[in-house]
Structure 1
Amino acid sequence: MTTAYAALRNGFLTVDPDAGETTARALDGHTLECVAVHPDDPDRVFVGTFESGLHRSTDGGRTFKRVDDFPHDAVMAAAVSYRDPGTVWAGTEPSRVYRSTDGGDSWEHLDGLVDLPSSDDWSFPPRPDTHHVRWLEPDPTDPDHWYVAIEAGALVQTHDGGATWEDRVPDARIDNHSLATHPHAPGRAWVAAGDGYAETDDGGDTWAHPQSGLDRTYCWSVAVDARSDSESRTEPGGTGDPDRVLVSAARGAYQAHTAERAETYVYRREGDKDWERLDGRGLPLGEGVTRPVLARGEPDEFYALSNQGLFQTGDGGDSWNAIDIEWPDRFTDRTARGLAVLP
């Protein structure tokens, strides 16, 4: 059974897309920022909030309790290690990274992040006297390698589990919003950033910026197909690299985040082809749509969460259907903050 965990700006939903049911609703009245869950431990769900710290559920999102000893109120990013569901990372405003190795019971500050040379230039434009960790992405092939996106200023990395940090490289994006990796693609990562799209095939040492066809470059969310080249090619010896990427994008921050000014789109790129905009396929796009948050499911399957609802495609983005669930009216003028899907 597929389960979708949806964090809206002002509420959390646990959804069974196959049944079209909202199985849980929680955290109303909080300002949600992110959600994280591991497929081997679906009952333990983490949600970061802007004003009341990190919340944890042990019943699949039906109820949450604030993690009392977490040291920050503004938790902007959370992620669970691919290999170990007990290892959880959280990022805050101001920019700090914390790690738990016991499923969230206790937390260790991974210091040194703000000692990087580029940190003098980090600044979040709406609150220019601060900045935050917007995204944490574990490498599925190396448990000590993590990407950390600072909004705004840098994409940095650690190769030793946070003991030391590596500063941004010259061709990395500056205003990174989200990342994706793939278990069958060692060294590859994909980035949606306010200053455009980027991808790497060497573990973040260098970054390429294929933009052709992407007529909106304020990118917010990126998702990579669960299918890999080796599964979709008939010839033997496939590389195992994913061949289909989706990204949501707008002209700028106002068009992405503000409902009354929103105009956002979703784009798809396959292999080395140009980006194509997925208009007219059942997924609400354009005026009035805040930037969708994307997530992959099974091969060829993607989900998109926006102020218009939760949508699903089973054919790689060619056609989309709305998940028929209770959708509170107050969600229609709020941005989606996080989406996790467990097939």
Structure 2
Amino acid sequence: MKQFIVTYDNALLLFTQEHGEYCIESKFKGANPIAVTQDPIDTNIIYCGTFDRGLWKSDDSGETWIPIGTRFKNNDAFKQEDIHMTRVTSVKAYKDEGGTSSMLLVGTEPSTLFVSYDQGESFELVTDFSHIEGKDKWFFPPRPYTHHVKWQASNPHQPENIFVTIEAGGMLYSEDYGRSWQANKANNAPVDIHVLRTHPTMPNTLYGVCGDAFLNNGHGTVIESTDYGATWQDINEGIEAKYGYSLAVNEDNDLVISTAKSPYKAHSYTNDTASTIYYRQRDNDAQWVEATEGLPDQQGTIISALTEYDGVFYAANNKGVFYSESGGQQWQQLNAKWPHEFINQHAHQIIPIV
């Protein structure tokens, strides 16, 4: 049985495959879910961060949910062990140092990190990044008075190394399981990394997809580092729609990205909305190629969230969920009846439930 979770503007969708078809269930409507992660030790546990209602937890693979970490009402003071924010923008569960239990890192807006070592029973503040030089220059373009933790990733070969990205403030990293953090000091480092992926089989490799092309100083759409962020290279040949939003990579080192010609076209919710998907394969002389076969019309498609599972790529958007078994060249829609109320909703993140 295959399962996926996709966060949309006003609900979390749980996809469950039954007899070749997918059943879609909508969870906690109106909570504005954004980020989602699965516990690596107890895989029945899923965490979801929302933009306005804090952090939520499911211990039955997404069937039921309870709020955690922000247990307050009206004007009650936060408890010491709470997350002192309601805008949770990034969540990721990792195996801890011993590898036998898990820890949960929670990123917020404004940018802070909280950690839980007891599956969400209590939290402690890790950092507000006040020690990071240049924090005063961080900004999120639509709301330039603030910024947030956007994405998290870890080194599969050295799990003590964890990376986070700030929108928009570049990349930070920890070498001690998230206890302390420092800024990426690479020359000409990328600024606005929307998704950062570690490569499952190639040591030292990071891939990122960025909005840097629309900033005064920054990289292009896709960046690559073969030394875990010490240096960065652009890999953009063939990309015409240069605003990057999501990225996925498989074990064959095939890459797919979702892009648009501008942030407005990617996220506008108007008739001008348009987005596309590109793929890049190692045996295809490093060229990006636009994918069209099996995907919805670019016009009217809000930019897609991407993931990979068992070698297959998945893309979620307002037209449905699509998959590619050919490294991103051809796509098919999941066999599911698409709910009409989601044709104007933005997909934020998609993950497989394994």
Q: d(CA) in 2 for partners of 1:66 and 1:172?
A: 37
Q: Report the counterpart of residue 123 of structure 2 in structure 1.
A: 107
8 Å Cα contact 2:154/2:162 also seen in 1 = yes
Distance of aligned partners of 1:26 and 1:40 in 2 relative to their CA distance in 1, 3 Å threshold? same
- Paired letter, 2:233: A
- Paired letter, 1:80: A
8 Å Cα contact 1:146/1:157 also seen in 2 = yes
Offset at 1:256? Answer: 0.9
Q: Report the counterpart of residue 197 of structure 1 in structure 2.
A: 222
Q: d(CA) in 1 for partners of 2:54 and 2:153?
A: 20
Superposed, 1:186-225 pairs within 5 Å as 186-195=203-212, 196-225=221-250
Q: Report the counterpart of residue 217 of structure 2 in structure 1.
A: none
Unmatched runs of 5 consecutive residues or more in structure 2 = 72-81, 213-220
1:250 to 246, 260, 263: 260
Secondary structure in 1 matching 2:52: coil
Offset at 1:39? Answer: 5.5
Q: How many residues align?
A: 326
Q: Report the counterpart of residue 37 of structure 1 in structure 2.
A: 38
Q: Cα deviation per residue 1:151-189 (whole Å; 9 max; x = unaligned)? A: 012111111223332213233211111111133222111
- Paired letter, 1:13: L
Moved more, 19-28 or 68-77: 19-28
Q: Report the counterpart of residue 263 of structure 1 in structure 2.
A: 274
Superposed, 1:325-340 pairs within 5 Å as 325-340=336-351
Q: d(CA) in 1 for partners of 2:36 and 2:194?
A: 14
Q: Report the counterpart of residue 103 of structure 2 in structure 1.
A: 87
Offset at 1:14? Answer: 1.3
Q: d(CA) in 2 for partners of 1:171 and 1:342?
A: 37
Q: Cα deviation per residue 1:77-131 (whole Å; 9 max; x = unaligned)? A: 1112165662111100000011222222221211252321121110112211110
8 Å Cα contact 1:311/1:320 also seen in 2 = yes
Q: d(CA) in 2 for partners of 1:17 and 1:202?
A: 39
Q: d(CA) in 1 for partners of 2:101 and 2:37?
A: 10
Moved more, 39-48 or 125-134: 39-48
8 Å Cα contact 2:172/2:182 also seen in 1 = yes
Q: d(CA) in 2 for partners of 1:61 and 1:51?
A: 19
Secondary structure in 1 matching 2:159: strand
Distance of aligned partners of 1:342 and 1:40 in 2 relative to their CA distance in 1, 3 Å threshold? farther
Aligned alpha-carbon RMSD (Å): 1.8
Q: Report the counterpart of residue 297 of structure 1 in structure 2.
A: 309
Q: Percent identity?
A: 30
Secondary structure in 1 matching 2:136: helix
2:165 to 140, 149, 152: 149
Distance of aligned partners of 1:342 and 1:285 in 2 relative to their CA distance in 1, 3 Å threshold? farther
Superposed, 1:1-343 pairs within 5 Å as 1-17=1-17, 19-22=20-23, 24-38=25-39, 40-67=41-68, 68=71, 69-81=82-94, 86-111=102-127, 113-168=129-184, 169-195=186-212, 196-225=221-250, 227-228=251-252, 243-260=253-270, 261-271=272-282, 272-279=285-292, 281-299=293-311, 301-342=312-353
8 Å Cα contact 1:10/1:31 also seen in 2 = yes
